[in-house]
């Protein structure tokens, strides 16, 4: 492992790997297909980045998240590691150039969406690549039992047929039940089963559910009293802004974040929070990808999430530094009513889904049997107005069509402008000699950006305008004119989402939506939502144990610090008296094993109180009995710590 530690230190500055990272890297380097379960913040990226850097060739990274692609490519590039991403929404020419660079340009990582795997362009080029590893991120998406099943993931195993080499597959996820674990390995055609996982337990994370009617009042009071950085998750985009402004009015440094903001704004907000200029980020679940802030002291869920998996992943963004942190869910009866309403909203009638599909084809003017792999700018408000659909019906229908593999709604609300020169340096120089009016502008481009002859390079028109002491419109005109002269390709920035047709447009009569599959999806969603509601409702089971049992980790003990555990203590005894008795029990059993009767006799407390504490310690897994029926302390914790 010494070679891998050197890479770890050289690029990331760490001297040692985190738990399980070494085992995963070792498994991959021995060419074993590997499924790795690492919790949020467990350092998944390094488990494929280190092996890929240690070997000749390029690593393919399949992920459905464009935002994550962009984040990881940017981070690798900053480290001096060549990385590329291709995804829905890029032009054929962009993808063509990108794939050429992956073959001949010394790139170490190619990030791609699963939809790209089926394209003829990718199939033809990947055969020429020296692929050293295939990584599948968010691997739970491949399983119909996973919480975010995507049919496009079922095609990933086909990569094996296109490659001249036979690299190992590494599947990564933060959350998977045993059923999903089996499904992932089967669908990816693992040569042999190979699961590596760490405990889902987070002993430094305190799980709390607060039965609260006035949630804004609770937030104000809690965030005023508790310092440190935190995230407040809210389902509504509009509400994120309202709550952030409420906090700011009460002198709490808060900001808001959601996928509807343009790229520059999102980057600025995220940077301010990362650097500590803002203490609280109020956000939809769009905030979280690529965040590596270790000192988050609390994550508060203002609304009930849809699944335990989503909740566990988002809550897990607190306390990554190993210090005590809090995961708080605010909950009341209204949340239960809203949860039931989401079932109906997320599963519109099949006839409505077909109507939205038909309207989309008309809106983009796509002929039947046309449009495959083409992307279209999508203004959802204009679409809703023209065809008289509610926004919830549109989004729910598109999500269903996406999961069925017909089309895709990208989360790319702002794609930076890009430029790529078609001509050689010599031809460009000759052009500059004959067309002097363009000379200064071309020199400005070449001084500002490198690699512009070999790949599409992101540019910033505002930055160029400042350097040239002119306005952005002048820069735009120069770029458009040079594109007309066929010297370069200029792709202006987009600030809208896109619909990408992953299959050709079908006539409404031929659009197949299986009622059986629809019912199965709905039943699966209801089952997961019910588990989330039960988590919020329970008053008897330790929060941590509930979550761990959901993922079939049965060897854990009650946390002793969640609201349920604390209520058990407080309901039976005062906390101070409880701690005193527990301290005495720990002291006595640290010396020798005792029966209940001997323990009661040895302690200066009433018998019923001692028995209550013994019962709680037994339930928490702190006390166990020997074959002789005597108590012993299982863990070597300090007295009073649980």
Supply the pLDDT for residue 257. 93
Both structure tokens of 67: 């935002």
Query: Which positions ≥6 away from 36 have C-beta within 8 Å?
Result: 20, 24, 44, 47, 170, 171, 172, 173, 195, 196, 197
Give yes or no for residue 83 having a pLDDT over 80: yes
Q: Would you say residue 136 has pLDDT above 70?
A: yes
Looking at mean pLDDT, say which of 65-69, 444-448, 548-552 comes out highest.
Answer: 444-448
Q: To 5 degrees, how large is the angle CA 620–CA 621–CA 625?
A: 130
The answer to whether 287 and 411 are in contact (CB under 8 A) is no
pLDDT digits 0-9 by tens, 84-134: 999 877 888 889 999 999 998 889 999 998 888 888 889 999 999 999 999
- Residue 343's pLDDT band (cuts 50, 70, 90): very high
DSSP secondary structure letters along 63-108: -S-HHHHHHHHHHHHHTT--EEEE-TTS-HHHHHHHHHHHHHS--S
- Paired residues of 298 in beta bridges: 230, 326
- Helix, strand, coil percentages (3-state) for the chain, rounded to 5, are 50, 15, 35
Q: Do 292 and 172 form a contact (C-beta atoms < 8 A)?
A: no
Amino acid 348: pLDDT: 93
Region of poorest pLDDT, from 39-48, 429-438, 543-552: 39-48
State yes or no: pLDDT of 642 exceeds 50. no
- Condensed to tens digits (0 to 9), the pLDDT of residues 154-176 reads 889 999 998 988 999 999 998 78
d(CA 218, CA 226): 12
pLDDT in tens, 281-327: 999 988 876 667 889 999 999 999 999 989 998 999 999 888 999 99
Structural contact between residues 304 and 254, judged by C-beta atoms closer than 8 angstroms: no
| Average pLDDT estimate for 148-155 | 80
Q: Which two tokens stand for residue 485?
A: 């002269």
User: For residue 636, what pLDDT is reported?
Assistant: 45
What one-character DSSP code corresponds to residue 492?
P
Tokens matching residue 308: 């335990």
Residues 199-240 pLDDT 10s: 888 999 999 999 999 999 999 999 998 889 999 999 999 999
> Rounded to two decimals, what is the model's pTM?
0.76
DSSP for residue 247: H
Question: How confident is the model over 356-382, as a mean pLDDT?
Answer: 92
Residue 430 in this model has a pLDDT that exceeds 80: yes
- CA-atom Rg of the chain in angstroms: 28
Q: Which residue has the higher pLDDT, 424 or 146?
A: 424
Query: Residue 98: CB partners within 8 Å, gap ≥ 6?
Result: 84, 85, 86, 90, 110, 455, 456
Going by DSSP bridges, is the β-strand pair 280-283/229-233 parallel, antiparallel, or unpaired? parallel
Percent of the chain with pLDDT over 70: 94
- So what's the pLDDT on residue 641? 37
């Amino acid at each position: 492992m010494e070679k891998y530690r050197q890479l770890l230190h050289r690029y990331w500055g760490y001297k040692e790997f985190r738990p399980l990272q070494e085992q995963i890297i070792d498994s991959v380097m021995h060419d074993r297909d590997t499924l790795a379960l690492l919790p949020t913040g467990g350092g998944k990226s390094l488990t494929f980045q280190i092996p890929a850097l240690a070997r000749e060739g390029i690593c393919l990274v399949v992920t459905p998240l464009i935002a994550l692609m962009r984040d990881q490519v940017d981070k690798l590039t900053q480290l001096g590691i060549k990385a590329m991403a291709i995804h829905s929404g890029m032009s054929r020419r962009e993808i063509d150039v990108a794939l050429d660079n992956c073959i001949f340009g010394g790139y170490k990582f190619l990030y791609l969406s699963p939809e790209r795997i089926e394209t003829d362009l990718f199939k033809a080029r990947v055969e020429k690549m020296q692929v050293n590893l295939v990584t599948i991120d968010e691997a739970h998406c491949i399983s119909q039992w996973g919480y975010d099943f995507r049919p496009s993931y079922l095609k990933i195993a086909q990569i094996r047929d296109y490659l001249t080499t036979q690299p190992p597959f590494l599947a990564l996820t933060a959350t998977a039940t045993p059923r999903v674990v089996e499904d992932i390995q089967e669908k990816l055609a693992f040569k042999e089963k190979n699961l590596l996982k760490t405990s889902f337990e987070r002993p430094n994370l305190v799980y709390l559910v607060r039965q609260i009617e006035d949630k804004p009042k609770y937030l104000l009071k809690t965030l005023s009293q508790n310092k440190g950085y935190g995230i407040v998750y809210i389902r509504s985009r509009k509400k994120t802004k309202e709550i952030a402004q409420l906090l700011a009015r009460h002198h709490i440094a808060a900001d808001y974040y959601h996928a509807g903001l343009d790229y520059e704004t999102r980057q600025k907000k995220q940077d301010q929070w990362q650097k500590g200029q803002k203490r609280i980020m109020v956000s939809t679940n769009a905030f979280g990808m690529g965040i590596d802030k270790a000192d988050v002291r609390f994550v508060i869920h203002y609304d009930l999430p849809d699944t335990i998996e989503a909740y566990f992943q988002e809550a897990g963004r607190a306390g990554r530094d190993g210090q005590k942190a809090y995961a708080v869910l605010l909950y009341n009866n209204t949340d239960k009513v809203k949860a039931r309403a989401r079932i109906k909203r997320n599963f519109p009638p099949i006839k409505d889904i077909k109507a939205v599909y038909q309207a989309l084809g008309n809106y983009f003017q796509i002929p039947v049997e046309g449009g495959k792999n083409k992307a279209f700018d999508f203004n959802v408000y204009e679409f809703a107005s023209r065809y008289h659909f509610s926004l919830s019906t549109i989004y729910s229908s598109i999500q269903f069509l996406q999961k069925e593999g017909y089309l895709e709604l990208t989360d790319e609300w702002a794609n930076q402008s890009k430029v790529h020169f078609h001509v050689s340096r010599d031809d460009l120089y000759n052009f500059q000699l004959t067309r002097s009016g363009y000379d200064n502008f071309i020199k400005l481009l070449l001084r500002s950006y490198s690699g512009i002859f070999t790949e599409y390079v992101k540019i910033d028109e505002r930055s160029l305008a400042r350097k040239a002491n002119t306005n952005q419109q002048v820069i735009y005109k120069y770029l458009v004119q040079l594109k007309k002269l066929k010297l370069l390709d200029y792709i202006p920035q987009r600030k809208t989402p896109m619909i990408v047709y992953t299959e050709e447009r079908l006539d409404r009569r031929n659009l197949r939506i299986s009622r059986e599959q629809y019912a199965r999806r709905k039943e699966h969603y209801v089952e997961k939502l019910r588990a989330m509601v039960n988590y919020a409702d329970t008053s008897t089971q330790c929060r941590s144990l509930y979550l761990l049992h959901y993922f079939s980790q049965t060897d854990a003990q009650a946390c002793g610090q969640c609201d349920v555990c604390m209520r058990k203590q407080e309901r039976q005894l005062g906390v101070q008296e409880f701690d005193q008795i527990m301290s005495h029990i720990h002291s006595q059993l640290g010396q020798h094993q005792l029966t209940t009767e001997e323990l009661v006799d040895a302690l200066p407390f009433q018998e019923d109180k001692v028995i209550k504490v013994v019962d709680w310690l037994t339930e928490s897994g702190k006390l166990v009995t020997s074959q002789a029926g005597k108590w012993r302390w299982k863990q070597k914790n300090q007295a009073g710590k649980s």
